Homo-oligomer: A and B are copies of this chain.
Amino acid sequence: MSLIVQKYGGTSVGTPERIINVARKIIETRDAGNQVIAVVSAMAGVTNRLIELAEQVTGEDKYPTEREMDVLLATGEQTTIALTAMALNALGAKAVSLTGAQAGIETDGVHTKARISNISPAGVHALLDEGNIVILAGFQGKTVDGKITTLGRGGSDLTAIAMAAAVDADLCQIFTDVDGVYTCDPRVVPEAKKIEEISYDELLEMASSGTKVMQSRSVEFAKKFGVRFEVRSSLNNNPGTLVREETMSMESVVIRGVSLERAQAKVTIAGVRDLPGTAGKIFGAVAAANILVDMIVQNVSKTGITDISFTVHKDDVTKAEAALRPVLSELGEGVTLEAQDGIAKLSVVGIGMRSHSGVAAEMFKALSGAGINIEMISTSEIKITVTVAEDQIDEAAKVTHAAFGLAE
Question: Nearest-CB distance from A8 to chain B (Å)?
Answer: 14
Whether A57 pairs with B87 at a CB distance below 8 angstroms is yes
Report Cα–Cα, A82/B79, bound state, in Å.
Answer: 16
**Neighbouring B residues of A74 by C-beta, 8 Å:** 78
Whether A96 pairs with B75 at a CB distance below 8 angstroms is no
**Neighbouring B residues of A86 by C-beta, 8 Å:** 54, 57-58, 64-65, 68-69, 72
Q: Mark A1-37, 1 if CB is under 8 A from B, else 0.
A: 0000000000000001101100100000000000000
CB-contact partner of A102 in B57, B81, B87, B146, under 8 A: B146
Closest to A147 in B: B102
Q: Mark A48-66, 1 if CB is under 8 A from B, else 0.
A: 0010011011110010110
Report Cα–Cα, A68/B84, bound state, in Å.
Answer: 9
- Total residues of chain A contacting the partner, CB 8 A: 41
Q: Does A90 contact B (CB under 8 A)?
A: yes
**Neighbouring B residues of A68 by C-beta, 8 Å:** 81-83, 85-86, 89, 96-97
Q: Does A113 contact B (CB under 8 A)?
A: no
Q: Mark A332-360, 1 if CB is under 8 A from B, else 0.
A: 00000000000000000000000000000
Q: Does A71 contact B (CB under 8 A)?
A: yes
CB-contact partner of A85 in B19, B62, B65, B81, under 8 A: B65
CB-contact partner of A19 in B16, B57, B69, B89, under 8 A: B57
Q: Does A67 contact B (CB under 8 A)?
A: yes
CB-contact partner of A89 in B16, B65, B123, under 8 A: B65
**Neighbouring B residues of A71 by C-beta, 8 Å:** 78, 81-82, 85, 97, 99
Given A19-B57, A67-B96, does the pair A83, B72 have CB atoms closer than 8 Å?
yes
CB-contact partner of A57 in B16, B54, B58, B97, under 8 A: B16
**Neighbouring B residues of A64 by C-beta, 8 Å:** 86, 89-90
Report Cα–Cα, A69/B96, bound state, in Å.
Answer: 11
**Neighbouring B residues of A147 by C-beta, 8 Å:** 102
Closest to A52 in B: B16
Q: Which of A84-108 contact B (CB under 8 A)?
A: 84-87, 89-90, 96-97, 99, 102
Report Cα–Cα, A20/B345, bound state, in Å.
Answer: 48
A residues with a Cβ closer than 8 A to B are 16-17, 19-20, 23, 50, 53-54, 56-59, 62, 64-65, 67-69, 71-72, 74-75, 78-79, 81-87, 89-90, 96-97, 99, 102, 123, 146-148
